[in-house]
Amino acid sequence: MSTQPFNAAEHQASTLYLPPGAWITVLDCLCEHFRAISREQWLDRIARGRVLDADGAPISAQLRYKEGLRIHYFREVPNEAPIPVQETILYADEHLVVADKPHFLPVTPAGEYVEQTLLRRLIRTLDNPHLVPLHRIDRHTAGLVLFSANPESRAAYQSLFPTRKIEKRYEAIARALPDLELPLVHKSRLVAGEPFFRMQEGPGASNTETRVEVCEKNADLWRYALYPVTGKKHQLRVHMAALGAGICNDPFYPDVIKDALDDYANPLKLLAHSLRFADPLTGQERYFESRIHLDW
């Protein structure tokens, strides 16, 4: 038996500490706690080894309930619809994986997406359950995502982002801004907006910063190079909308397109184009560039 503690995050499992109650078995508690999941579904998950104890061992349907017992379980979405796009692995070694994420594919499981995510696809392709994303990009955004492949070196790569030792370049296509003097730096305070999935600019000290440059002009549309200094949710989308140039095909900004369906022929024109940093393990300069191109 392994002496290493079970790490739920590495195995992409959720964790529940059993609440107070009068249940006989752990199964009874799970059925009461997650009423949207039937007893038959829990029995099926247990039979397939998808519910684990604190040590990471599959539980039995007869396991006795005990308050505070730590249980790990894997989220599942019945009849999850496939997302008809394909990721590309640009680089992989024992410590680092760099993937090119297509538009519409989520990075990690959330909501209605579990198996149809970049993380789950890479885990299956590389047969490495230790993969963890080092940062995130929106589901609607395409481009580069870095993954840690080794828990022993993970902290070194994770430190690149909060210490701002990594240069991120994005590209976006949006309407022309001939009345603004570019390049410019846009700073603002981003706060939660309405509906719940949006962000908005609010009063107070700035907590976001983006440098905006023009790299190509095509009549009423320009291709912008965006350099986020900070990494808040939807930062680039909100900043471009605030400048008067909401990114083309954005379903959230400047206005929400109600009941918008994924239009694979017209994705959000935002791309995580390139990443540059000094490798924290070797000191070697690393540069990765997406193979995806934003068409006009």
As a whole number of angstroms, the distance between CA 234 and CA 134 comes to 17
pLDDT in tens, 140-185: 999 999 999 999 999 999 999 999 999 999 999 999 999 999 999 9
Q: Which homologous superfamily does the CATH classification assign to the domain defined by 14-73? A: RNA-binding S4 domain (3.10.290.10)
Q: Sign of torsion, CA 163 280 146 250?
A: positive
Q: How many CB atoms lie within 10 A of CB 180?
A: 14
Confidence of residue 260 (pLDDT cuts 50, 70, 90): confident
Q: What is the CATH number of domain 77-158?
A: 3.30.2350.10
Proportion of the chain above pLDDT 90, given as a percent: 79
| 42 close to 27: Cβ distance less than 8 angstroms | yes
As a whole number of angstroms, the distance between CA 84 and CA 33 comes to 34
| 239 close to 210: Cβ distance less than 8 angstroms | yes
Architecture in CATH for domain 167-276: 2-Layer Sandwich (3.30)
70 or 14: which leads in pLDDT: 70
**Chain-centroid distance, C-alpha 135:** 7
| 223 close to 273: Cβ distance less than 8 angstroms | no
pLDDT in tens, 20-33: 999 999 999 999 99
Prediction pTM value: 0.79
The pLDDT of residue 2 is 43
- Tell me the mean pLDDT in the region 70-75: 89
Average per-residue pLDDT for the chain = 93
- H/E stretch holding 201 reads strand 199-202
pLDDT in tens, 82-121: 899 999 999 999 999 999 999 999 998 876 787 899 998 9
- Cα-based angle 62, 65, 66 (whole degrees, multiple of 5): 145
As a whole number of angstroms, the distance between CA 53 and CA 56 comes to 5
Name the segment(s) of the chain with CATH classification 3.10.290.10.
14-73
- From residue 47, how far is each of 28, 52, 62 by CA, in Å? 15, 11, 12
Name the segment(s) of the chain with CATH classification 3.30.2350.10.
77-158, 167-276
- H/E stretch holding 247 reads none
- From residue 194, how far is each of 199, 212, 232, 240 by CA, in Å? 7, 26, 16, 18
208 or 8: which leads in pLDDT: 208
12 or 158: which leads in pLDDT: 158
As a whole number of angstroms, the distance between CA 135 and CA 159 comes to 11
| 74 close to 117: Cβ distance less than 8 angstroms | no
The closest of 178, 196, 194, 177 to 242, measured between CA atoms, is: 177
For 263, what's the count of Cα atoms within 13 Å in the CB-facing half-sphere? 12
Task: Check pLDDT > 50 for residue 1.
Answer: no
Q: Which amino acid makes up residue 264?
A: Y
| 170 close to 228: Cβ distance less than 8 angstroms | yes
